[in-house]
A = this chain, B = another copy of it.
């Protein structure tokens, strides 16, 4: 007997037929003798519809009331799944975030989970029951409904699994796992049997949108094994685990686990930057104050006393705000032009194996150079090498690197 959390996303809950299928998956786990808590998203499209209604109601809407509106989507699917499970003869009940409660910070529409009381759940399990819980929502200390931000149901599921000391957390979605790269670009991409939390964080943040990043970070801190799998096909998914379990779960691991890409980066170039102490600090200080996440940074090395060129990337969505901040500090800091370019892509090779292997980055630069792809910026972390290149080379670069790192599936796979 295991204690598990099963989480189902919006496409898995999109309509009564899909919900019935989900109920069948829940039944299978319950009938295997497991203690099951189910976390559900709203029906696909429903949250978008509710957000749109809030936007139409007022351009600057109160996040507290926004939360009241959007939390209703998961409330509906929780009730419907409980009804469907009962219709199959199972002992199931829904529990809203305020009923458990799932306690959150007061940051409406972007709340953090402070804690989850599991007394109610323990009683449900003692009575042989199944608990259905809406994802994405909890209750703030003042008794108001608070939501966790888009995609928050993954975080709800992992937090619940940690609170109830579950053996595992299964995230059912419309993809069947995590791949070595985007299969639309590389048909020979392989599904990974397992990845580490850190790899998943890097893969998620650079474009493999399978799990909300926040939920992976939480799983890592709590050492909660998470499995990503499909609610549409009955086959094994990808386990996301701690470093020390990765070898046993995936014997065929390469040094590099996957190739990711992210088109949501914009390049900003500042010319004529004075060679003065504090100039760069003033720029990044002002951007940090405006909550703009700067990612890759490259500074040309000038001769002493001569102006230099500074290049960095920001999320494309933050670009208007970035140019606004830069315009404000331009005369004070004293730089020349502000050039921006959104036709860039960040391509990354990710893998815990590179920790113990030099030469991974060099292999990347050589493979790209062989195809004439110009590298605009580079960043590296312990388990990742990223390059910024022109967007038109995205597919070519991903394919070349996928092959170079030995990730292509065998023909007979």
Interface residues of A (CB under 8 A from B): 16, 19-20, 50, 53-54, 56-62, 64-69, 71-73, 75-76, 78-84, 86-87, 93-94, 96, 98-99, 143-145
CB contacts (< 8 Å) of A56 on chain B: these are 16
A19 — which chain B residues lie within 8 A by C-beta?
57
**Which B residue's beta carbon lies closest to that of A50?**
B76
Give the distance in Å from the alpha carbon of A93 to the alpha carbon of B64 in the complex. Answer: 9
| Residues in B neighbouring A71, C-beta threshold 8 A | 75
CA distance A143 to B143 in the complex (A): 14
Q: Point out the residue from B57, B79, B83 that lies within 8 Å of A80, measured CB to CB.
A: B57
Taking a contact as CB atoms under 8 Å apart, the answer to whether A80 and B69 are in contact is: yes
Tell whether A16 pairs with B75 under 8 Å between CB atoms, given A65-B93, A93-B65.
no
A73 to B65, CA, bound (A): 14
List 21 A-B residue pairs with CB atoms under 8 Å apart, sorted by A's residue number. Answer: A16-B56, A19-B57, A53-B76, A54-B79, A54-B80, A57-B80, A57-B81, A57-B84, A59-B87, A60-B87, A61-B83, A62-B86, A65-B80, A65-B82, A65-B83, A65-B93, A66-B79, A69-B79, A72-B73, A75-B75, A96-B145
In the complex, the chain B residue whose C-beta lies closest to that of A85 is B58
**Residue of B with least CB distance to A74:** B72
Whole-angstrom CA separation of A20 from B53 in the bound complex? 12
Q: Is the CB of B62 within 8 A of A143?
A: no
Complex Cα gap A67–B98 (Å): 16
Q: Report the Cα distance A66→B72, complex, angstroms.
A: 14
For residue A80, which residues in chain B have a CB less than 8 angstroms away from its CB?
A: 53-54, 57, 65, 69
For the complex of A and B, the 10 pairs showing the least CB-CB separation, nearest first, are A58-B87, A68-B79, A69-B79, A72-B72, A57-B83, A16-B56, A65-B82, A65-B79, A61-B83, A57-B84
Residues of chain B lying within 8 A (CB to CB) of residue A93: 64-65
- Of the listed residues A54, A65, A67, the one surrounded by the most CB atoms of chain B closer than 10 A to its CB is A65
Q: If A60-B87, A75-B72, A76-B72 touch, does A65 touch B53 (CB 8 Å cutoff)?
A: no
The distance from the CB of A262 to the nearest CB of chain B, in whole angstroms, is 33
Residues on B with beta carbons closer than 8 Å to the beta carbon of A61: 83, 86-87
Chain B residues, CB < 8 A from A67: 79
Contacting residues, chain B, for A143 (C-beta < 8 A): 99
**What residue in chain B is nearest A81 (Cβ atoms)?**
B57
Q: How far is B79's CA from A65's CA once the two chains are assembled, in angstroms?
A: 5
| Contact present for A75 and B69 (CB under 8 Å) | yes
For A58, list chain B residues within 8 Å (CB).
83-84, 86-87
Q: Which residues of B contact A94 (CB under 8 A)?
A: 65, 68
Closest to A72 in B: B72
Which residues of chain B have C-beta atoms less than 8 A from A96's C-beta? 68, 145
Known contacts A82-B62, A94-B65, A98-B98; A87 and B57 CB within 8 A of each other: yes
Provide the residues of chain B in CB contact with A72, threshold 8 Å. Answer: 72-73, 75-76
A56 to B83, CA, bound (A): 10
Q: How far is the CB of A139 from chain B (nearest CB, A)?
A: 10
In the complex, chain B residues whose CB is within 8 Å of the CB of A79: 54, 65-69
Q: In the bound complex, how far is the Cα of B87 from the Cα of A78, in angstroms?
A: 31
- Enumerate chain B residues within 8 angstroms of A84, measured Cβ to Cβ: 57-58
Of A78, A79, A96, A145, chain B has the most CB atoms within 10 Å of the CB of: A79
Residue of chain B at shortest CB distance from A69? B79
Among candidates B78, B83, B87, B98, residue contacting A66 with C-beta atoms closer than 8 Å: B83
